[in-house]
Structure 1
Amino acid sequence: MKNKQAKKGSENNEKDRKKSGSSSLLSFGKIFFLLNLGVGLLAVYIYKEYLSPPNVPDVDLNAYWGSYPMNPKPDKSIRKYEVEFSDVMANDLRERLLHRRPFPPPLEDAGFQYGFNSNFLSRVLDYWQNNYNFKEREQFFNRYDHFMTNIQGLDIHYIHVKPNVDAGVEVVPILLLHGWPGSIREFYEIIPKLISKRPSHNFVFEVIIPSLPGFGFSQAPSRPGLGPTEVAVILANLMKRIGIDKYYIQGGDAGHAIGSIMATLFQTEVLGFHTNMPVMFFGVLANLYTTLGSLWPSLIVEPELQSRLYPQHVHLMHQIEESGYFHIQATKPDTVGIGLTDSPAGLAAYILEKFSTWTNKDFRKASDGNLLSKFTLTHLIDNLMVYWSTNSITTSMRLYAETANKRFLSMRFDDIPTNVPTWGIKFKHELAFYPDCVLKLKYKNYLHSTVVEDGGHFAALEMPDVLADDIFEAVDTFQLFHSSGKKPQNIQQPDFETAKSIYDFTVRDMYGRDIKLDKYKGKVVLIVNVASQCGLTDRNYHQLNELYQKYAASHDLRILAFPCNQFNGQEPGSPKEILNFIKERGVKFDVFEKIEVNGENAHPLWKYLKRTKSGTFGDSIKWNFSKFIVDKNGVPVERFGPNEDPINLEPYLAKYW
């Protein structure tokens, strides 16, 4: 009996264990299902909230920013304006500079590492007080036409320069946008370069340069809320007021942020966006990419540019070290503004320290911040005068508070795609670097980056020639983009055996654009195969530059250079490396994509050149810097070997003028 009971009890225990195990498996399955469901829902939430492109926010295109009561019939006229440095203001400024307190001496060998070196500051202030010619500089500012007009309740100031060119030259409008602590003054050296006709381009620029609201000569808003988005709307309305419906934009710093927003909100009006600070500080995906890229840098950035981004912690520490001003201006701009408004010495130290460190971080080691290696005291003080004479340093800094806040950041403009063609130029010492693959997350038609092995944050003032050259190349590409509706593509080449002239051929330039050579009709052309590491390089590049400078304008000479790596591997560089090489050499003539000039894969143009003008020992190109002269009908008429110096071709070229 006991055995039966024991057996029965054992069977019951076994059933309980099976039931318990089955229940445990069921519970585990439920937990696993719920965990997966939770992870899935979390992933959907993260994607929807942070990774998927947000919608373009609704913005008020007519928001009023002036003081109340609002004028029911506002003056919408465009009025002439002149910059004035009044005697009252100048005398007050000199008195403040004269009676400044003694500064604590800098630490030994500190340079600018603790901020502006007080010894050098005394030199700057003495120059401002005793040598800065207020009336002469007032005239300098007024060399271009200034205007004022009321937009959305604010008097907005702008410079408007129209070029004087011959009939047949296209005039295209461009909006130039400054940042902080810059001003309209940054663009004075670049204006003449943009309004002057170039032999290689059949257009010039009509230049519009506004003072941002609250900066310099433009009125500040009366109430909070005027951030980059609202400034973008004001400037778009300004362009309408002027009568310009479609235009290009160039900007850096705050000018980049505002220009980028305009290229997002007004994609039918903005024809192209050129930026000298191509960044996406607030892009969620962009920053995720760059962070993950620190594990495999080669996946997102070219090896030669990796040092501009990685090791990431090194660059992050530098940004933290240099961003103290940002935290102050984003939180308490009016507090720091009191001191800068009252003291010209404080204003000079605060602003000019940025012109040193942001031009090159290594300048911090120098006792004078190496400021005078890139700028003159007169030019730097010109920029200070924009802020001092208008009492606008506080109102300018408020833009940071209107940017680094929940309202603006929630708009996520850096995550909203734009189809406006975009071009960036990346100066070596810019405050931040973003790879092209990251920039293309927002700028769906990001066409090119020009990489410069010099320069910093204030490009228009520091390197106006380089920036102007790049703006022309960018707009040329933007025009090709619009004419084809997409990036230029390869065009079917003719048979070199039956071609009648070079005008039948198409070549690709260093920016990836397909260029039909009939653009050179009616011009004498010199075609050369080039290399950057050849023993003939220095002499040939120098003399080709000399020929171009002498005869491009006077006799319509055009030089077409084709890099080639077939001769002892002396042109091994990537397109960007070749571009940097020719920019360092100051090359103004046209340089095209690297090709082959001999063999089956030789470019059809070069097959045609060799067929029509054979060499001394056969058709093949013997070495770098072989040269062909092409007459005004596009027909090759002379051929010269590598050892013939370009300058010796002058009498031969003259036969075909």
Structure 2
Amino acid sequence: MPGSTGEVQAFDARASDADLADLRARLAAARLPEAETVRRPAPDPRRWDQGVPLADLVAVVEHWRTGYDWRSFEERLRRIGQFRTTVDGLGIHFLHRRSARADATPLILTHGWPGSVREFTDLVEELADPPDAGAPAFHVVAPSLPGFGHSDRPATTGWGTERIAAAWVELMGRLGYATFLAHGGDWGGNITTVLAGRFPEHVLGIHTTFADAPPGLSTDGLSDVERRWVAETRAFYDGPRGAYAKQQAARPQTIGYALVDSPVGLLAWILDKFAEWSDTEDSPFERIGVDAVLDDVTLYWLTRTGASAARIYAESHASMDPGLRVDVPAAITMYPRDIEKIPRPWAQERYRRIVRWREPDAGGHFPSLEVPEHFVQDLRDGLAAVLAAR
């Protein structure tokens, strides 16, 4: 790690050759179960009814072992600019790219689970220095959540979304950004909501693909589409598809042993979510490159954060303060194949100044990876609307 600059240190993440050799050896020695009992010819989404099909997993494992290049992802992180600093006693890793534009606005991007900063690595340069001089530019900060990637793994309880949001305010202030915009999806959307609700003096406005409505709202007056959204979201969390969240909320340590000890177990656990939550008809690789998924999974593997990342569910699952309100301008986008879609009338009960609402034709839970060109334009347009509203 290069030298320190004040309280912020430049950081160079480089895995050892021994760790990469160990990963390949574990992949070569993997013990796999028999094939699923719902085998169907591809393409067919029902192939995934029991989880990741054996043939699909074997193909990805073989590519991971023999064809995937982790060093190229490390170089991409290096080009963006990586740093670490200690906030509230915990080491936080983050990407930081300052724009060359004098009119750029600070922007913090927060990822979720099973994502990482990989969700944003292909977008940072375009957001910071867009080719179009008329497009808004941003000083981009993308931190790794506590327990994720190269951020420290908390050794005690208490690192829930409220504490993370407060840490982000401290982080941005340390970088010289007293006020800033914020974006997030999944847990990042939750944290972005808390940021805006708790720290409106620092947050200029937000863009999010996640909108958490207060509990107990009626479906009276909703459109047929909005009623379907409500039914689908409730079915997801109340049924077997939401079991992953209950497992990680109730017993993160138990699932953590498999996620930290077995690269194939980690891959299957994460790949299952990329498949089910993406806007595809069969495989997630219809929209997301296999190397993009492996960048994400390998980051979890090399940093041994399968268990610590799962603990965010134990800390904060279903814990949003029902009384929290967001009064700063908000731009919200509901992608059609996301796992949680909230009707606008419900969202307006929490987000009091929705200045832009969009429902695209394509995209799921990972829009920055699934539909990157649309995502970047939507993010720009949403943040421009937020700034104009101020």
Task: Quote the residue 2:84 is aligned against.
Answer: 148
| Residue matched to 2:177 | 244
Residues 31-70 of structure 1 correspond to what in structure 2 (within 5 A)? none
Q: Which of 385, 389, 396 is matched with 2:298 structurally?
A: 385
Residues 1:288 and 2:228 aligned together: no
Letter aligned with residue 81 of structure 2? D
How has the CA–CA distance of structure 1 residues 359 and 425 changed in structure 2, closer, same or farther, with 3 Å as cutoff? Answer: same
2:388 aligned with 1:475: no
- C-alpha separation between the residues in 1 aligned to 2:284 and 2:163? 34
8 A contact 2:226–2:342 mirrored in 1: no
Aligned match for 2:17, one of 87, 91, 94: 87
Residue 331 of structure 2 contacts residue 385 of structure 2 at CA under 8 Å; is this kept in 1? no
Q: Does 1:462 align with 2:370?
A: yes
How far did residue 198 of structure 1 move? 5.7
Aligned pair 1:300/2:222, yes or no? yes
Partners of 2:336 and 2:72 lie apart in 1 by: 35
In structure 2, the partner of 1:309 is 229
For 1:77, give the aligned amino acid.
E
| Residues in 2 aligned to 1:89 and 1:178: alpha-carbon distance in whole angstroms | 25
Compute the displacement of 1:414 (Å): 4.0
Q: Which residue of 2 aligns with 1:415?
A: 323
Question: Which residue in 2 is equivalent to 1:136?
Answer: 72
How far residue 200 of structure 1 moved from its aligned partner, in angstroms, is: 7.3
Q: What displacement does 1:106 show? A: 1.9
Which residue of 353, 362, 366 maps to 2:272?
A: 353
CA distance in 2, matches of 1:270, 1:401: 27
Matches within 5 A, 1:245-644: 245-280=178-213, 283-284=214-215, 287-289=216-218, 292-293=219-220, 299-301=221-223, 305-306=225-226, 308-309=228-229, 312=231, 315-319=233-237, 320-360=239-279, 363=281, 366=282, 370-404=283-317, 409=319, 413-482=321-390
1:342-395 per-position Cα deviation (integer Å, ceiling 9, x unaligned): 1000000000110010113x64xx4xxx12211111111000111011001100
- Shift in Å, 1:244: 0.6
Alpha-carbon distance change, 247 to 455 in structure 1, aligned in 2, over 3 angstroms: same
- What SS does the aligned partner of 1:206 have? strand
Name the amino acid aligned to 1:423: A
Which whole-Å CA distance do the structure 1 matches of 2:131 and 2:228 have between them?
33
How many pairs are equivalent?
Answer: 379
List alignment gaps of at least 5 residues for structure 1.
1-74, 294-298, 483-657
Secondary structure at 1:121's aligned position in 2? helix
* 3-state SS of 1:323 partner: helix
Q: Aligned equivalents of 2:241 and 2:363: distance in 1?
A: 18
Which residue type is aligned with residue 78 of structure 1?
V
- CA change 1:235–1:429 in 2 (3 A) is same
Distance between the aligned counterparts of 1:374 and 1:86, measured in 2? 31
Separation (CA, whole Å) in 2 of partners of 1:264 and 1:306 = 25
Instruction: Note the alpha carbon deviations across 1:280-339, whole angstroms, 9 max, x for none.
Output: 3xx22xx422xx33xxxxx234x5x347426x2x55334423111011000000000001
The 5 Å alignment of 1:199-218 reads 199=132, 201=134, 203-218=136-151
Structure 2: distance between partners of 1:171 and 1:128: 39
What's the offset of the Cα at 1:279? 3.0
Deviation (angstroms), 1:192: 2.7
CA contact (8 A) 1:190 1:468 kept: yes
Give a deviation string over 1:96-148, Cα, whole Å, max 9, x none: 00111133112222511101111110110000001112323322332210001
1:153-176 deviation line (CA, Å, top 9, x unaligned) = 1111100011234xxx51111000
| Paired residue type of 2:242 | S
Change (3 A) 1:198 1:444: farther
1: CA distance, partners of 2:135 / 2:34? 57
Alignment check: 8 A CA contact 2:226 2:343 kept: no
Task: Write the deviation string for residues 507-559 of structure 1: whole angstroms up to 9, x where unpaired.
Answer: xxxxxxxxxxxxxxxxxxxxxxxxxxxxxxxxxxxxxxxxxxxxxxxxxxxxx
The aligned residue for residue 98 of structure 1 is 28
Residues 59-86 of structure 1, C-alpha deviation per residue, up to 9 Å, x if partnerless?
xxxxxxxxxxxxxxxx962111012121
**In the alignment, structure 1 residue 171 sits paired with structure 2 residue 107:** no
Flag the 1:463–1:417 CA change in 2: closer, same or farther, 3 A. same
Matched letter for residue 378 of structure 2 = D
Letter in 2 for 1:309: W
- The structure with the larger Rg is 1
Alpha carbons 1:279, 1:433 under 8 Å: kept: no
Q: Could you say what secondary structure the match of 2:104 adopts? A: strand
**Structure of higher RCO (CA pairs closer than 8 Å, 6+ residues apart):** 2
Mapped to 2, the partners of 1:102 and 1:197 lie a distance apart of: 46
**SS class of match (1:170):** coil
AA at the equivalent of 1:185? R
Contact conserved, 2:165 with 2:191, CA < 8 A, in 1? yes
Decide whether aligned partners of structure 1 residues 146 and 259 sit closer, same or farther in structure 2, where only a CA change above 3 A counts.
same
Identity percentage of aligned residues: 27
Asked if the contact 1:308/1:433 (under 8 Å) is kept, the reply is no
SS of 1:447's equivalent? strand
With over 3 angstroms needed to count, the CA separation of the structure-2 counterparts of 1:173 and 1:395, relative to structure 1, is: same
Alpha-carbon shift at residue 456 of structure 1 (Å): 0.2
Q: Aligned with 2:308: secondary structure?
A: helix
Q: Which moved more, 1:463-472 or 1:193-202?
A: 193-202
What SS does the aligned partner of 1:149 have? Answer: strand
C-alpha separation in 1, matches of 2:293 and 2:167:
28
- Contact 1:76–1:149 (CA<8 Å) still a contact in 2? no
In the TM superposition, what is the alpha-carbon distance from 1:443 to its structure 2 partner?
1.1
Cα distance per residue 1:217-245 (max 9 Å; x no partner) = 10022211211111111111111111110
User: Per the alignment, do residues 447 and 308 of structure 1 end up closer, same or farther by CA in structure 2, a change over 3 Å counting?
Assistant: farther
* SS of alignment partner, residue 36 of structure 2: coil
Asked if 2 retains the 8 angstrom alpha-carbon contact of 1:158 and 1:209, the reply is: yes
**Residues 77 and 112 of structure 1: is their aligned pair in 2 closer, same or farther, counting only changes over 3 Å?**
same
Structure 2 CA distance for aligned equivalents of residues 197 and 137 of structure 1: 22
Letter in 2 for 1:440: Q
| Alpha-carbon distance, 1:216 to partner | 0.6
Shift of the 441–397 alpha-carbon distance from structure 1 to 2, 3 Å rule, reads: same
Letter in 2 for 1:118: L
SS of the residue 2:83 aligns to = strand
